[in-house]
Amino acid sequence: MMKFIAQFTKQKLFDEALVRRIGNDFFLVQPDFGLIIKKIKLPPLHAGLYLGREEEKTAKPSLDLLQMLAKSDAKKVWLNEKGAWMFICRRPALEKSVVRTEAKSREIVLVMNESDECIGYGVFEGKGVKNYFDIGDFLRRERRARRT
């Protein structure tokens, strides 16, 4: 997870000593909360602020990690309303949707909407943005959960 973050910024987003791993998932566990959980004799599936999941070749950041990254010096691309919606539907962002960019071609970027909220990340391809991850993933996970 720290390698994933390092792709965007060298800035310290949080105290790394507070990061806990459960399987492939990462959490930020505040000390007071951690003390309580330590007293419980069973292992949790989830504990603290969810940061994201490491997968084989990539990572799926949580909503909170995306917003933390958005406050850093990570490179960003801003999309208009239609572009943002299409991006959340797992599409790439087309050139005509990009209203502003800080990135150069082939740079990894955070994708922002016009309200300055991070809706995902991808690679800036000089004109548009290739979609690597977007917050619409929540709904896709929910649909998969309903099918099982």
Partner 1 sequence: MEEGVNFFLDRYAQLGEKFPEKINIKPALRVNTLRISDDELFSRLEKLGVKLSKILWLRHGYQIENSKFSLGAIEEFLLGYYYLQEAAAQSVAEILDPKPDEVVLDCCASPGGKTTQISQLMQNKGAVIALEKKSHRLLSLRNNIERMGCSNVAVYHMDAAKAVQLGIKFDKILIDAPCSGNYAGDEKWFSKRRIEDIQRSAQIQRSLINTVLDALKPNGILVYSTCTLEPEENELNMHWLVENYKVKLEPIDISIGDKGLTDVFGKKLHDSIANCRRFWPHKTGTEGFFIAKVRKL
Question: By the criterion CB under 8 A, which residues form the site for partner 1?
Answer: 28, 30, 32-33, 36-37, 39-42, 44-50, 62-64, 84-85, 88, 113, 117, 119, 135-136, 138-139, 141-142, 144-145, 148
Give the tokens for residue 70.
């958005």
Pull the structure tokens for residue 142.
């929910």
Tokens representing 5 are 């973050």
> Smallest distance, Å, CB 126 to partner 1?
26
Distance CA 19, CA 5 (A): 13
Task: Specify the 3-state DSSP secondary structure of 91.
Answer: coil
Whole-angstrom distance, CA of residue 24 vs CA of residue 107? 26
Closest distance of CB 95 from partner 1, Å: 21
Residue with smaller CB distance to partner 1, 17 or 45: 45
Of 33 and 125, the one with the shorter C-beta distance to partner 1 is: 33
> 10 vs 55, which CB is nearer to partner 1?
55
Q: How far is the CB of 135 from partner 1 (least distance, A)?
A: 5
Nearest in space to 77 (alpha carbons), one of 35, 131, 9, 140: 131
